[in-house]
Structure 1
Amino acid sequence: MTDHTMPPDGLELLRSELDDIDVTLLDTLRRRLECCIRIARHKAEHDIAMMQPGRVGLVKDRAAQYGRENGIDPDFLVALYGVIIAETCRVEDVEIADATAH
């Protein structure tokens, strides 16, 4: 009988690689949100509407195209960007409200 509590060394190496990729992914998401904060400040300073539907569509289209070109389900990437954009909008709303309150 195989002991399933101790994964083979190869699996541990792959999991370690995945953990490193996750750190990069999370750091990239943090950097994206930081950039969105700077964008929100610019929008507040120049009285630009927070929501830019054309831009949202462009970003989602670009994600879908990336998926098609790289063997990733385009619908998955569009849904993922939907979540990312929702958080971006929330962060921008907070930042714009703070900027206009001062």
Structure 2
Amino acid sequence: MEILRPFRERIEVLDGQLAALIADRLRVCGEVAAVKKAEGIPMMQPDRVRAVCRAYAERGRALGVSPDFMAELATLLINEACRLEDEIIG
């Protein structure tokens, strides 16, 4: 389907950018985990988790993207960050 090629190419570029941003975010989460470990800060911060999910939903609403989808995306990112923190903190 040649007519879709330009759209698919744009999506591929965006997907690459998203993957790079997610990797950067997780690297920062790794740095946070190291600080938590060094300072004896508990891994789980329920208030922070709620705030991040709420912020993602609000960003989605402002950008015309489903707030529920954005909150789910935040949950996926948080779950991976927690897995990473668990590896680092032990």
TM-score, normalising length: structure 1: 0.85
CA RMSD of aligned residues (A): 0.8
What secondary structure, in the 3-state scheme, does the structure 2 residue paired with 1:48 have?
coil
What corresponds to 2:34 in structure 1? 41
* Greater helix fraction, Structure 1 or Structure 2: 2
User: Runs of 4 or more off by more than 3 Å in structure 1?
Assistant: none
Q: Which of the residues 11, 20, 39 maps onto 1:18?
A: 11
How many residue pairs are counted as aligned between the two chains? Answer: 90
User: Larger radius of gyration, structure 1 or 2?
Assistant: 1
What secondary structure, in the 3-state scheme, does the structure 1 residue paired with 2:10 have?
helix
Distance (whole Å) between structure 2 residues aligned to residue 72 and residue 82 of structure 1: 16
Q: Give the unaligned 5+ runs of structure 2.
A: none
Distance (whole Å) between structure 2 residues aligned to residue 82 and residue 62 of structure 1: 12
Distance (whole Å) between structure 1 residues aligned to residue 65 and residue 56 of structure 2: 10
What secondary structure, in the 3-state scheme, does the structure 2 residue paired with 1:51 have?
coil
Q: Which of the residues 50, 53, 64 maps onto 1:57?
A: 50
Q: Give the unaligned 5+ runs of structure 1.
A: 1-6, 98-102
Aligned-pair identity in percent equals 36
| Shift, 1:31, TM fit | 0.6
TM-score, normalising length: structure 2: 0.95
| Shift, 1:59, TM fit | 0.5
Deviations 1:3-34 (A, max 9, x none): xxxx12x4111101100000000011111110
Q: Which of the residues 8, 32, 43 maps onto 2:25?
A: 32
What corresponds to 1:83 in structure 2? 76
